[in-house]
Amino acid sequence: MTTWSPRAVDEKILVTARHDAVRTPVDAMIRCVTVPSHSDQAPAPRAEAVVDLDAVRHNVGLLSGIADRSGAATMVVVKADGYGHGAAEVGRAALGSGAAWLGVATLEEAAAVRAAGITAPLLSWLHVPDEDFDPAVAAAVDLSVSSREHLAAVLAAGRRTGRAVRLHLKADTGLGRNGAQPSEWAGLVDDAAAAAASGEAEIVAVWSHLARADEPSHPTQDVQAAALDLAWRHVRERGFTPLRHLANSAATMTRPDLHLDLVRPGIAAYGLDPIAQPADSPLRPAMTLRVRVALVKQVPAGHGVSYGHEWTSTAPATLALIPAGYADGVPRRLNNAGRMRVRIGDTIRPVVGRVCMDQVVVDCGDVPVRAGDTVELFGTGDGDSPTAREWADELGTIHYEIVTGMRGRIRRTVRGDGPPTAAGTVGNGNGNGAGTPAGHVGSGRW
């Protein structure tokens, strides 16, 4: 009987034994062995998105300070696993830096936040009416409702769990997505008011979402604000005093008149400015994408690189193979115009050839580089290094899509919360309860 000898690793590995002449049963073919490691320290990840919680704290402190000057509380949005940064980790950092609320889209996201031990006020707003709302109600998750059918499903969950549901009534003030239309608003409010009168519900807030907040002076902002004000006053006339919330990241930073009772910054909490370029922003980007070099090679002049040979060396060149590609969130189109850049040490170097599923190639020029060195694909922008905003501009998209798109084999490493923690491949706060009346009467369609 012979066995193959594995290279040293830290964990137990499976070794397959094969008899030279006789086929053996499967359970006799596999055995576990422990092989000593050459080093007590594990190698750095091949590819990682490094999340800086100190940057998150800086950003949330800045945003909540802006809101506080308007008399508004702050809800930090941690949907999509904290925009790819880690919902629980970001949530705790945000709640310790001035935020009083957290917000998510789905019920599953709300459950994950609660499972992480976070008990702060938490709003979930994107549901299908036939979902199971019982766990969310039982976990004291505030729920947004946009239709009478939606509300009925949420109230039924409250009856089953024996808890009054906390409602945020959403009005469609012009975005055309979720929220009740003006013609539907009175019926939704009637049902919510009846549920509140019977003790089945609490009307916590009336809210909406801006369509063009990244254009601060666009008249749409004022039209939507006026429409929300009318919707809110309709609820007030029924004897309730709900909060109002409308401002997203851009409006939090540029429109204090729209702060109302509660602001909902999302992307800005992660250091990505919804309006300004990174160099002009007071925010600090929290995510850096780093990959270690897999191979360095010399190629002669006239050597093609990657599929289609869209780049060919004009002189002898030093190339570095970077093991991350479009399966990991590096878009295939990113280098179509040949402008993708990376940072090696203190030097910016170009990516050459097409982005592949698993890898890209960098022309190192005269920069000394060896296998195992770290290359920064995007980050804070310090030293003219690439940023998520640069990727987005090149692709004709927004940086939200870049950071939420890190996937596949990218490991998330969280720093600034004790020892760095690896989250695999990709504190408590107090809420305000019901709000106090404020604002003005608008002239919208409501």
Annotated catalytic residue within 170, 270, 307, 326 = 307
Amino acid at 15: V
Question: Which parts of 234-354 are beta strand (E)?
Answer: 243-245, 262-263, 287-292, 295-299, 304-305, 311-312, 317-322, 341-344, 347-352
Is-contact 243 434, C-beta < 8 A?
Answer: yes
Q: Is 365 left (phi over 0), alpha (psi -120 to 50) or beta?
A: left
Closest by Cα among 383, 397, 394 to 288 = 383
Kindly list the distances between the CA atom of residue 335 and the CA atoms of 98, 322, 342, 353, 356, in Å, as whole numbers in the listed order: 40, 14, 11, 7, 10
Annotated catalytic residue within 12, 79, 270, 297 = 79
* Burial status of residue 110 (CB atoms within 10 A of its CB: 0-12, 13-18, 19 or more): buried
3-state secondary structure string across 390-412 = HHHHHHCCCHHHHHHCCCCCCEE
* Token couple for 336: 């179509």
DSSP state of 81: H
Calpha distance 404→402 (Å, rounded):
6
- Helix count and strand count (H, E) for the chain: 12, 23
Q: Answer yes or no: 307 catalytic.
A: yes
Is-contact 35 69, C-beta < 8 A?
Answer: no
Is-contact 109 131, C-beta < 8 A?
Answer: no
| Partners of residue 263 on adjacent β-strands | 74
What residues are labeled active site?
A: 79, 307
